[in-house]
Structure 1
Amino acid sequence: MTLEAVLASLHLLAILTLVVFVTSQAALCRSEWMNAAVVQRLARLDAIYGIVAVLLLLTGLARLFWGVKGLAGYTGSPLFHLKMTLFVVGALLSIKPTLAFRRWKRALDASGQLPSEGAIAQTRRWVMWQAHVIPVIAVVAIFWARGM
């Protein structure tokens, strides 16, 4: 049971950390606040977000293979598959902002150019979609954990 508690704690810690970084991106990605420091920070936050997403996946896989329920206990549930599908959707939604943040940083480093208001607004929409998928995953997990 100690291993299960450790794995669950690490998984929860990764989820909460992911929420912190996507929320930080959403808060900073605004045209009225955009400056060189924000572009640098968004690129750094996104890199950390990516690392945390990988850690979330790894802690989830650890629970899948070494957790109390075992592989069959997880994969037999349709809500598990919904949760994984939503995770993939969230990962796919993160690609466009990641590419934008990298492009903005390259342009800033090369010429000091900041992103346009349109680019910022579009990227913020993608970040917000990611931020809204995460709570849905949590709700699915709650129902799934209660055997529904």
Structure 2
Amino acid sequence: MTLEAVLSCLHLLALLTMVVFLSSQAALCRSEWMNAAVVQRLARLDLVYAFAAVAVLATGLMRLFLGAKGVTWYVSQPLFHLKMTLVVVGVLLSFKPTAVFRRWLRQLRDNGALPGDAEVRATRKWVMWQAHLIPVIAAVAVFYARGW
């Protein structure tokens, strides 16, 4: 029982860390606030977000394989499969902003160029899609964890 609680805590901590850094990206990724410091900060925030996402995945796998309910119970739940599908969608959504933030940082370092307004707005939309998907994933997880 203690292992289950520890794994749950670690998973939640990783998830909350991910949400904080994704929210920070959403807050900073605005054309009216864009400057060299923001470009650098967005790249750092995205790196921490990626590490947190890996921690969410790792702790989720530990819960799957070491948790009290066991793999068989999880894979028998249809909502578990929905959650995993949504997680894959979230991962795919994260690739675009990560590539863009890295390109912005490279352009800034190479020639001091800042991204244009349209590109900043488009990238922020990708970040916002990710941010809005996370609570949906959490809600699905709550329902399947209770056998709904």
Return the alpha-carbon distance in structure 2 between the equivalents of residues 74 and 133 of structure 1. 21
Q: Flag structure 2 segments of 5+ consecutive residues without an equivalent.
A: none
> TM-score by structure 1 length?
0.99
Deviation at 1:111, TM superposition (A): 0.6
Moved over 6 A (4+): none
Alignment match, 1:114? 114
| Amino acid in the other structure paired with 1:131 | A
Aligned pairs (5 A) from 1:1-148: 1-148=1-148
Deviation at 1:85, TM superposition (A): 0.7
Return the alpha-carbon distance in structure 2 between the equivalents of residues 84 and 53 of structure 1. 14
> TM-score by structure 2 length?
0.99
Deviation at 1:88, TM superposition (A): 0.7
For residues 99-141 of structure 1, give each alpha carbon's deviation from its aligned partner in whole angstroms, at most 9, with x where no partner exists.
0000000000011100000110000000000000000001101
Return the alpha-carbon distance in structure 2 between the equivalents of residues 64 and 135 of structure 1. 20
Deviation at 1:145, TM superposition (A): 1.6
SS in 1 for 2:109: helix
Return the alpha-carbon distance in structure 1 between the equivalents of residues 70 and 147 of structure 2. 15
How many residue pairs end up in the alignment?
A: 148
Deviation at 1:142, TM superposition (A): 1.2
SS in 2 for 1:113: coil
Return the alpha-carbon distance in structure 1 between the equivalents of residues 68 and 38 of structure 2. 43
Return the alpha-carbon distance in structure 2 between the equivalents of residues 6 and 135 of structure 1. 22
| Amino acid in the other structure paired with 2:64 | L
